[in-house]
């Protein structure tokens, strides 16, 4: 309920000043502030953190996670969750890599196929969730299992190497920044615009917020859910291409724990797990923040053994700051 009051306030606050204030006080603002704070603290302690190469690397390594987190945000906003994304990335990256080493295969096909197979897997998940009404956590747990086992069955875990040089999309740079960073930026903006301004995008919030109300206002939750899971599949597909084209060889197993990283990014980004609120911009910022934390902690010599604990604490702090902010805002609006 706090979220609806906030968004109501957002709409009733015209003027650039108020807009700016809202921007700073929104979750995006909180994340930007945390990020700025981190950059200042770590940058002062070790200026090498601020080197262009390091910033570029942080952005590069955030990209594939951020793209997947965009899809995850949509899923979570619709009131669902997808635990199978890590396994999907593993499977799609392997498919892409396998295609790229087929002699005579144009390289764009190996980029395109994951973008088709991804939504197809998403459609299966979506169908089970939307039409057969199986909870998304069950479907995606099952899917994860099927994809993980299936991948090893199919490949025997043999790594893929000798991909043609032109395949390695993620290793290209444009204007000094790696290509995946542009993907991350463009997709974040497009997805944000879609979800905020188009009716089909708004419908996701409606379904996540209140299914009955959505139904009454003429939105079919089933269609919306199908669309959300297929959209997620598409994002995971793009993410997997960025993932696969980054290296000289592809590890054809499922990277363990990847789904947790993606879900954490979406959730820290302010996507309420209860559905109905959040933005993908927050998710992308959160991905960058989490990556910068992981990177920055090494720069300031945090004991490697305590690194995970410090990361966990910082995640908690970020979440708490956001929570207190929301609460204060809600109090202000009420009062």
- Closest approach of other proteins to the CB of residue 156, in Å: 6
Note whether 212 binds other proteins by CB under 8 A: no
Give the C-alpha separation, 74 to 161, whole Å. Answer: 34
Q: Which is nearer to other proteins, 80 or 201 (CB)?
A: 80
Select from 14, 257, 334, 335 the one that contacts other proteins (CB under 8 A): 257
Cβ partners under 8 Å of residue 251, min gap 6: 159
Torsion of CA 77, 122, 282, 262, to 10 degrees: 120
With CB under 8 A as the contact rule, the residue among 174, 301, 334, 335 that binds other proteins is 301
Length of the chain: 335
Contacting other proteins within 58-77 (CB under 8 A): 61
* 273 contacts other proteins (rule: CB under 8 A): yes
Assess 200 for contact with other proteins (CB under 8 A). Answer: no
Structure tokens at 130: 């939307």
Q: Report how far residue 129's alpha carbon sits from residue 138's, in angstroms, rounded to the nearest whole number.
A: 9
Among 32, 78, 246, 287, binds other proteins (CB under 8 A): 246
Cβ closest to other proteins, residue 68 vs residue 201? 68
How many angstroms separate the most distant Cα atoms in the chain? 68
Long-range contacts of 134-139 (CB under 8 A, 24+ apart): 136/75, 136/80, 136/81, 136/82, 137/81, 137/83
**Residue 256: CB partners within 8 Å, gap ≥ 6?**
86
**Least CB distance to other proteins at residue 123 (A):** 15
Would you count residue 324 as binding other proteins (CB under 8 A)?
yes
Take residue 200 and report the two structure tokens written for it: 């089909």
Binding mask 153-192 for other proteins (x = CB under 8 A): x-xxxxx-xx--------x---------------------
Binds other proteins (CB under 8 A): choice among 149, 166, 193, 217? 149
> Using the rule CB under 8 A, is 264 a contact of other proteins?
yes
- CB of 132 vs other proteins, minimal distance in Å: 6
Measure the CA–CA gap between 78 and 221, rounded to whole angstroms: 9
Question: Which CB sits closer to other proteins, 29 or 296?
Answer: 296
Of residues 92, 128, 280, 289, which one binds other proteins by CB under 8 A?
Answer: 128
Nearer to other proteins, 201 or 296 (CB): 296
8 A C-beta contact, residue 130 and residue 221:
yes
Is 105 a binding residue for other proteins by CB under 8 A? The answer is no
Q: Binders of other proteins among 40-59, rule CB under 8 A?
A: 46, 48-49, 51, 53-54, 57
The least distance separating other proteins from the CB of residue 242, rounded to whole angstroms, comes to: 10
Of positions 102, 216, 298, 333, contacts other proteins by CB under 8 A: 298
CB-based burial, 130-142: b 16+ in 10 Å, e otherwise: beeeeebeebbee
CB 284 within 8 A of CB 70: yes
Nearest to 85 by CA among 273, 226, 232, 227: 232
């Amino acid at each position: 309920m706090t979220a609806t009051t906030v968004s109501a306030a957002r709409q009733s606050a015209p003027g650039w000043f108020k807009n700016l204030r809202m921007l700073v006080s929104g979750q995006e603002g909180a994340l930007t502030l945390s990020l700025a704070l981190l950059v200042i603290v770590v940058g002062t302690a070790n200026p090498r953190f601020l080197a262009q190469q390091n910033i570029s690397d942080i952005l590069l390594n955030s990209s594939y996670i951020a793209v997947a987190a965009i899809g995850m945000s949509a899923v979570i906003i619709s009131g669902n969750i997808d635990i199978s994304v890590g396994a999907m990335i593993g499977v799609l990256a392997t498919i892409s890599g396998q295609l790229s080493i087929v002699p005579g295969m144009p390289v764009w096909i190996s980029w395109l196929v994951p973008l088709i197979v991804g939504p197809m897997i998403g459609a299966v998940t979506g169908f089970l969730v939307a039409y057969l009404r199986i909870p998304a956590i069950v479907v995606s747990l099952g899917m994860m299992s099927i994809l993980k086992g299936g991948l090893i069955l199919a490949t025997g875990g043999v790594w893929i190497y000798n991909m043609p040089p032109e395949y390695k999309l993620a290793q290209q740079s444009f204007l000094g920044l790696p290509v995946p960073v542009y993907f991350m930026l463009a997709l974040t903006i497009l997805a944000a615009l879609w979800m905020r301004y188009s009716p089909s995008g708004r419908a996701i919030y409606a379904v996540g917020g209140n299914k009955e109300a959505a139904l009454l206002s003429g939105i079919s939750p089933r269609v919306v859910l199908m669309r959300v899971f297929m959209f997620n599949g598409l994002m995971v597909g793009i993410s997997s291409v960025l993932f696969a084209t980054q290296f000289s060889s592809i590890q054809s197993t499922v990277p363990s724990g990847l789904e947790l990283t993606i879900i954490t990014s979406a959730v820290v980004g302010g996507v309420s797990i209860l559905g109905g609120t959040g933005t993908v911009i927050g998710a992308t910022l959160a991905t960058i923040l989490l990556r910068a934390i992981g990177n920055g902690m090494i720069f300031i010599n945090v004991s490697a053994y305590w690194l995970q604990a410090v990361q966990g604490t910082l995640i908690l702090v970020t979440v708490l700051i956001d929570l207190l902010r929301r609460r204060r805002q809600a109090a202000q609006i009420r009062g």
